[in-house]
């Protein structure tokens, strides 16, 4: 399976918790940026026809439909699209109009993921969002009418001012819209963000126990509503799992374009510059806007496979990791303590809230052969 | 020749200006050019300078041209000024004929000074009272001079009034040293007897002793014998300190200086020992040598187990310079390999620990300090207990005795009530009051040593706005109602946190420790019960609730490298934890939980 990621950094304003490559107040550069994306796509090596495309941000829905159509066209021209290709974009509910939605469907988009975040106006304000709960309802309805095959909602839980009742109401309001896919994210204080500065200055921080409660509440409700909990933070109706993300978690190949974008082809991971002007200058100069690269291979690749795979609720193929885990004292503790289980040929985290405790141990495992040779 | 020598010490309370006065004497006699003066020249250790106290006695030789036209050799032996170090004070006093009793003109005489003055008087020293800091606005030289006269006898006019800071009165004082202090006596032809009053280890030259020759002559090349330890060696070099080391051919009776022997067996050189010549030994050692008796014990463990040998080496070297420090290897299930160390008191412990960390670059955890208990067992034996682990099980015990000390406190009379209250809270018995003057009271109590060594001194100071002072001496053992409190993590006792404590304080110790640990131990994948127990009886309990959430919300294409590195860094951080059973305890938790504090 192959995929492509396209990053659109433009935002009306930067949300206080966001640490992605984003810019606000620079919409005047949109046309140049789209041109640059198309040039960058032209510089990429050939890979088999794409099974999934994801246009993320930032706020891709700030771009005109024609610009987004040009980007898709460039991808088709360069790589070709497989049959049944999944073509997603991220959208802010306040940008969404009948016209834009129709234009995007015409251009080839068939999946939209809304940054809904909450149905509580107070929480939306805290999160720095511009839309109202009604905008979300409207966005979903418009998408259905326009013919999007799959509609997803992103929700953020655990803001310090969010009550358990507020979160419960948000989950119910989301389910009422019958989304095909839901992502639920614990609000995280990332370094360098406005939120992080506020918390350092003494503002309330998210409480991990409150977030655990809310995580479990969402898990119960969403699963009860018929959505499959397929990854730590993701739920989908059958057949609506995000194929683009499934590919990255399965260490598949994906090319990536735009500010701060990361691609991975054949064990080579590349990342782009995060500064908009540098990006535009580099591409204008006929250069790839690459900031760095790393090669993932051998045992390292095996560990990464497991580290990504344990985020999947169905687990990950045991491969060479399971024996290493069982011969590691900490790994043994996780198995004996019921945090992780080996079921048939799969390694599975029992409580998804403790996934990182498992991932940390997995990433520290010694290669079994080496472990054996150092012991003898 | 001895008629032109004067050996003297300075007795002073902390902050009464001893070091400043010593500096001033050196400067006035040209021993040190003014531009080389740094404040508190005699206090060479960084810690001494920072804490403003003298830990180690040091000796300086000064040439002083007196008003009678003759030049005198003045040997100043500096003495420690804290209650923990009275043995070293007694050895310094044995090396001199006279002492300057320096008293702050605004504060008056303090308990420690008084105790040292009594020691000096008993040793037959001539005392010259010096009233210092007369330049201060709050100075009351007349009142303080009268107080001093009341304590040591003589007239208030005997006191010399000076300001070590401005230099006023220092010339008069130098004259008084020559005219009022006696010259040393001693037979130059008698067999050699030299007193070691201090020593330190130099990594190039081995052990260096500070000595006072009482009889005979100590010359470079002499074959020597150390009477108490039996060590035999020869004198590689003898010399005087001006304060720089200047080699001389020999030291005669009454003279003080240093001796280099090249000895590396540092535990064989002890303060208080007598050095003689091996081919013509003195028949009798100088009086007063005693084995150092530590009062407070604590386990010192390197946070990095690989540093165990370095710690041993560092302790070996420190002991040379500090004969009162004792240590023996100890193993802790929680902390690994370390040493059970004996100290004179808590300040001594802190100083040793700080020197080990600073001068030897070691990272240490110190276990809860303990005194030495005596356990009486059911089979009629008496077991000396220096560590809570050594205490026999409750069913094998018939009783426990603990050391008491006779505590002498001097306080302005307005604070008598609060001082007595403190003494009684600390289980003090048989209180006794003596009014030295209408507004100065001597308060005597017998108090368990364990209650005195922790923060008694700090409490006394804070309750009397710094005016009260303290000294104590051993007063034997008494039976007390003591029990051992264990701290259990996930059901497993952590030896480092066990303590022996009076039954009235066991609950507060247990409650404080369990609460502290609950804050200090990070949440784990399972609940961690923290219990305090006396035997099998649980007296306090807290729980570190299991961690419920340990997961990154997002991990997509652009996050993979970053999340992976973050997780790897977190994993690295876990290596700084100690495993106690299945519980991960950060090194800092041991240090923080064991910080000495009030358990009330």
The string of pLDDT tens digits covering residues B258-271 is 999 877 766 677 77
For residue B51, pLDDT beyond 70 = no
Per DSSP (E only), the strands in A18-149 are 23-24, 50-57, 81-91, 111-117
pLDDT tens digits for range B71-104: 999 998 877 655 556 666 777 888 899 999 999 9
Segment A326-355 shows an average pLDDT of 92
Residues B220, B200: Cα–Cα separation, whole Å: 19
For residue B144, pLDDT beyond 70 = yes
- Please tell me whether residues B176 and B249 are part of one structural domain: no
Of A254, A261, A356, the CB nearest to B552: A356
| Best B558, B559, B562, B570 residue to mutate vs chain A (most A CBs within 10 Å) | B558
In a domain, B39, yes or no: yes
Residues B60, B57: Cα–Cα separation, whole Å: 10
Residues B233, B512: Cα–Cα separation, whole Å: 54
- Please tell me whether residues B539 and B415 are part of one structural domain: no
Of the candidates B337, B369, B401, which is a domain's last residue?
Answer: B369
For residue A151, pLDDT beyond 50 = yes
Q: What is the mean pLDDT of chain B?
A: 84
CB atoms within 10 A of CB A297: 11
Q: Does A256 touch chain B (CB under 8 A)?
A: yes
The pLDDT, as a whole number, for residue B253 is 93
- Please tell me whether residues B32 and B166 are part of one structural domain: yes
In chain B, what percentage of residues exceed pLDDT 70? 90
The pLDDT, as a whole number, for residue B375 is 94
- Judge whether B98 and B7 are in contact, CB under 8 Å: yes
What's the helix, strand, coil split of chain A in %, to 5? 45, 25, 30
The pLDDT, as a whole number, for residue B487 is 94
In chain A, what percentage of residues exceed pLDDT 90? 95
What residues of B are in contact with residue A262 (Cβ under 8 Å)?
557-558, 560-561
- Nearest Cα neighbor of B459 from B413, B410, B421 is B421
- Please tell me whether residues B499 and B453 are part of one structural domain: no
Segment A202-225 shows an average pLDDT of 97
- Please tell me whether residues B42 and B168 are part of one structural domain: yes
A356–B555: do the CB atoms touch at under 8 Å?
no
| Structure tokens that stand for B274 in this block | 């007598």
B560–A188: do the CB atoms touch at under 8 Å?
no
The lowest-confidence range among A92-96, B29-33, B161-165 is B29-33
In a domain, B231, yes or no: yes
Of the candidates B467, B502, B536, which is a domain's last residue?
Answer: B467
Segment A304-315 shows an average pLDDT of 95
Segment A206-229 shows an average pLDDT of 97
Residues B309, A192: Cα–Cα separation, whole Å: 44
For residue B35, pLDDT beyond 80 = no
Q: Does A299 touch chain B (CB under 8 A)?
A: no
A353–B551: do the CB atoms touch at under 8 Å?
yes
- Please tell me whether residues B386 and B356 are part of one structural domain: no
- Please tell me whether residues B173 and B56 are part of one structural domain: yes
Rounded to 10°, the helix A30-43/A276-284 angle is 50
In chain A, what percentage of residues exceed pLDDT 70? 98
In a domain, B20, yes or no: yes
Q: How confident is the model at residue A194 (pLDDT cuts 50, 70, 90)?
A: very high
Rounded to 10°, the helix B18-28/B170-180 angle is 90
Q: Does A188 touch chain B (CB under 8 A)?
A: yes
**B116-130, B246-260, B285-299 — which one is most confidently predicted on average?**
B246-260
Segment B519-523 shows an average pLDDT of 92
For residue B52, pLDDT beyond 80 = no
List the CATH number of the domain containing B243.
2.40.30.10
Residues B236, A89: Cα–Cα separation, whole Å: 87
Residues B231, B216: Cα–Cα separation, whole Å: 19
The pLDDT, as a whole number, for residue B195 is 93
Segment B45-64 shows an average pLDDT of 59
Cis peptide before A94 (omega within 30 of 0): no
The pLDDT, as a whole number, for residue A373 is 45
A212–B555: do the CB atoms touch at under 8 Å?
no
Instruction: Find residue B128's DSSP bridge partners.
Output: B100
Residue with tokens 């002499």: B222
The pLDDT, as a whole number, for residue B57 is 44
Class at the top of the CATH hierarchy for domain A2-248: alpha beta
A5–B557: do the CB atoms touch at under 8 Å?
yes
- Please tell me whether residues B406 and B555 are part of one structural domain: no
Query: Exposure of A201 by Cβ count < 10 A (0-12 exposed, 13-18 middle, 19+ buried)?
Result: exposed
The pLDDT, as a whole number, for residue B593 is 80
Segment A133-145 shows an average pLDDT of 98
Of the candidates B222, B243, B277, which is a domain's last residue?
Answer: B277
Segment A274-299 shows an average pLDDT of 95
**ipTM of this complex:** 0.91
The shortest C-alpha distance from A201 to chain B (Å) reads 22
Residue with tokens 């997995």: A362
The pLDDT, as a whole number, for residue B496 is 84
Residues A245, A52: Cα–Cα separation, whole Å: 9
In a domain, B159, yes or no: yes
List the CATH number of the domain containing B315.
3.30.70.870
Q: Does A70 touch chain B (CB under 8 A)?
A: no
Report domain extents, chain A.
Answer: 2-248, 298-375
pLDDT tens digits for range B535-560: 889 999 999 999 999 999 999 988 89
Segment A174-197 shows an average pLDDT of 96
- Judge whether A265 and A47 are in contact, CB under 8 Å: yes
Q: What is the extent of the structural domain holding B139?
A: 2-180
The pLDDT, as a whole number, for residue B439 is 78
| Structure tokens that stand for A83 in this block | 């049959």
pLDDT tens digits for range B380-396: 999 999 888 889 888 88
The pLDDT, as a whole number, for residue B599 is 47
- Please tell me whether residues B353 and B436 are part of one structural domain: no
| Structure tokens that stand for A294 in this block | 């790393």
Instruction: Give CA separation, A278 vs A11, A272, A282, A285, A341, in Å.
Output: 18, 10, 6, 10, 47
pLDDT tens digits for range B453-463: 777 877 887 88
The pLDDT, as a whole number, for residue B46 is 54
Number of domains chain B contains: 5
Residue with tokens 């008698």: B190
- pTM to 2 decimals? 0.66
In a domain, B109, yes or no: yes
Residues B433, B10: Cα–Cα separation, whole Å: 29
Using DSSP's 3-state secondary structure scheme, residue B179 falls into: helix
| Structure tokens that stand for A52 in this block | 């999934």
Residue of chain A with shortest Cα separation from B551: A356
- Please tell me whether residues B166 and B26 are part of one structural domain: yes
The pLDDT, as a whole number, for residue B557 is 87
Q: How confident is the model at residue B296 (pLDDT cuts 50, 70, 90)?
A: confident
Query: Exposure of B434 by Cβ count < 10 A (0-12 exposed, 13-18 middle, 19+ buried)?
Result: exposed
In a domain, B476, yes or no: no
For residue B14, pLDDT beyond 70 = no
Helix H, strand E, coil C: the string for B101-161 is EEEECCCCCCHHHHHHHHHHHHCCCEEEEEEECCCCCCCCHHHHHHHHHHHHCCCHHHCEE
Q: Does A260 touch chain B (CB under 8 A)?
A: yes
Q: Which residues contact B444 (CB under 8 A, 6 or more apart)?
A: B406, B407, B408, B409, B430, B431, B432, B433, B434
Segment B495-505 shows an average pLDDT of 88
B549–A186: do the CB atoms touch at under 8 Å?
yes
In a domain, B327, yes or no: yes
pLDDT tens digits for range A233-246: 999 999 999 999 99
The shortest C-alpha distance from A155 to chain B (Å) reads 11
Helix extents (H) in A84-132: 98-107, 121-126
The pLDDT, as a whole number, for residue B290 is 67
In a domain, B511, yes or no: yes
| Structure tokens that stand for B80 in this block | 């420690």
Residues B326, B344: Cα–Cα separation, whole Å: 10
- Please tell me whether residues B447 and B402 are part of one structural domain: yes
């Amino acid at each position: 399976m192959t995929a492509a990621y396209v990053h659109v950094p433009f935002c009306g304003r930067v949300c206080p918790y966001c640490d992605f490559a984003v810019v606000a107040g620079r919409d005047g550069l949109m046309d140049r940026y789209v041109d640059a994306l198309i040039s960058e796509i032209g510089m990429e090596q050939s890979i088999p026809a794409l099974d999934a495309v994801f246009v993320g941000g930032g706020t891709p829905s700030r771009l005109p439909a024609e610009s987004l159509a040009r980007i898709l066209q460039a991808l088709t021209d360069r790589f070709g699209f497989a049959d049944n290709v999944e073509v997603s974009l991220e959208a802010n509910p306040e940008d969404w109009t009948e016209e834009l939605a129709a234009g995007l469907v015409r251009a080839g988009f068939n999946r939209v993921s809304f940054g809904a975040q909450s149905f509580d106006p107070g929480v939306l304000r805290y999160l720095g969002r511009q839309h109202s709960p009604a905008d979300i309802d409207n966005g979903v309805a418009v998408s259905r009418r326009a013919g999007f095959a799959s509609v997803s909602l992103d929700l953020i839980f655990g803001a310090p001012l969010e009550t358990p009742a507020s979160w419960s109401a948000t989950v119910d309001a989301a389910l009422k819209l019958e989304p095909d896919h839901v992502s639920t994210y614990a609000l995280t204080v990332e370094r360098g963000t406005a939120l992080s500065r506020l918390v350092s200055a003494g503002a309330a921080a998210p409480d991990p126990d409150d977030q655990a409660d809310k995580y479990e509440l969402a898990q119960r409700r969403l699963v009860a509503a018929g959505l499959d909990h397929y990854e730590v933070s993701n739920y989908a109706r059958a057949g609506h799992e995000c194929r683009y993300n499934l590919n990255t978690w399965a260490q598949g190949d994906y090319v990536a374009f735009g500010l701060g974008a990361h691609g991975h082809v054949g064990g080579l991971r590349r990342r782009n510059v995060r500064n908009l002007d540098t990006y535009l200058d580099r591409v204008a100069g006929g250069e790839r806007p690459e900031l760095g690269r790393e090669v993932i291979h051998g045992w390292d690749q095996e560990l990464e496979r497991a580290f990504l795979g344990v985020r999947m609720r169905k687990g990950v193929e045991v491969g060479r990791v399971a024996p290493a885990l069982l011969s590691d004292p900490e790994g043994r503790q996780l198995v004996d303590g019921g945090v992780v289980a080996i079921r048939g040929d799969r390694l599975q985290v029992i409580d998804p809230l403790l996934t990182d405790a498992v991932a940390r141990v997995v990433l520290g495992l010694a290669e079994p052969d080496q472990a054996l040779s150092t012991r003898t | 020749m001895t008629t032109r020598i004067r050996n003297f010490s300075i007795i002073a309370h902390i902050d009464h200006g001893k070091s400043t006065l010593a500096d001033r004497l050196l400067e006035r006699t040209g021993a040190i050019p003014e531009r080389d003066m740094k404040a508190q020249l005699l206090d060479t250790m960084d810690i001494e300078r920072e804490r403003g106290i003298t830990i180690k006695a040091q000796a300086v030789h000064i040439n002083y041209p007196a008003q009678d036209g003759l030049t005198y050799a003045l040997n100043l032996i500096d003495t420690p000024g804290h209650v923990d170090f009275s043995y070293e004070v007694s050895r310094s006093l044995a090396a001199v004929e006279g002492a300057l009793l320096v008293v702050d003109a605004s504060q008056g005489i303090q308990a420690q000074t008084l105790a040292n003055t009594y020691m000096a008087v008993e040793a037959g020293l001539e005392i010259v009272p010096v009233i210092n800091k007369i330049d201060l606005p709050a100075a009351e030289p007349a009142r303080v001079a009268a107080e001093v006269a009341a304590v040591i006898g003589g007239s208030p006019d005997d006191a010399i009034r000076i300001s070590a800071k401005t230099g006023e009165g220092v010339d008069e004082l130098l004259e008084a040293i020559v005219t009022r202090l006696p010259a040393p006596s001693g037979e130059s032809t008698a067999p050699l007897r030299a007193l070691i009053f201090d020593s330190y280890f130099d990594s190039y030259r081995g052990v260096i002793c500070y000595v006072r020759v009482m009889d005979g002559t100590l010359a470079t090349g002499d074959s020597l014998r150390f009477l108490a330890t039996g060590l035999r060696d020869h004198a590689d070099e003898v010399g005087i300190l001006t304060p720089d080391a200047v080699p001389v051919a020999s030291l005669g009776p009454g003279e003080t200086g240093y001796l280099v022997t090249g000895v590396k067996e540092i535990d064989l050189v002890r303060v208080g020992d007598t050095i003689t010549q091996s081919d013509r030994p003195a028949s009798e050692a100088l009086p007063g040598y005693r084995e150092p008796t530590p009062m407070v014990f604590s386990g010192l463990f390197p946070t990095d187990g690989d540093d165990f040998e370095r710690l041993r080496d560092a302790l070996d070297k420190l002991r040379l310079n500090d004969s009162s420090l004792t240590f023996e290897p100890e193993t802790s299930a929680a902390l690994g390999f370390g040493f059970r160390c004996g100290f004179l008191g808590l300040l001594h412990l802190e100083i040793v620990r700080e020197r080990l960390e600073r001068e030897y670059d070691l990272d240490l955890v110190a276990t809860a300090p303990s005194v030495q208990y005596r356990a009486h067992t059911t089979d009629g034996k008496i077991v000396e207990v220096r560590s809570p682990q050594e205490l026999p099980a409750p069913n094998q015990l018939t009783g426990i005795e603990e050391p008491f000390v006779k505590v002498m406190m001097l306080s302005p009379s307005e604070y008598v009530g609060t001082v007595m209250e403190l003494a009684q809270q600390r289980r003090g018995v048989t209180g006794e009051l003596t009014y030295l003057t209408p507004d100065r009271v001597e308060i005597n109590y017998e108090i368990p040593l364990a209650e005195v060594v922790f923060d008694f001194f700090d409490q006394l100071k804070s309750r009397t706005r710094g005016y009260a002072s303290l000294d104590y001496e051993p007063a034997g053992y008494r039976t007390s109602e003591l029990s051992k409190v264990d701290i259990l993590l996930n059901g497993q006792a952590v030896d480092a946190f066990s303590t022996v404590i009076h039954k009235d304080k066991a609950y507060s110790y247990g409650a404080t420790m369990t609460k502290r640990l609950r804050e200090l131990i990070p949440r784990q994948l399972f609940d961690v019960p923290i219990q305090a127990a006396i035997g099998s009886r649980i007296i306090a309990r807290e729980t570190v609730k299991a961690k419920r959430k340990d997961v990154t919300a997002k991990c997509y294409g652009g996050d993979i490298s970053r999340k992976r590195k973050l997780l790897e860094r977190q994993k690295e951080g876990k290596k700084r934890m100690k495993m106690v059973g299945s519980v991960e305890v950060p090194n800092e938790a041991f240090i923080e939980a064991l910080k000495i504090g009030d358990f009330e």
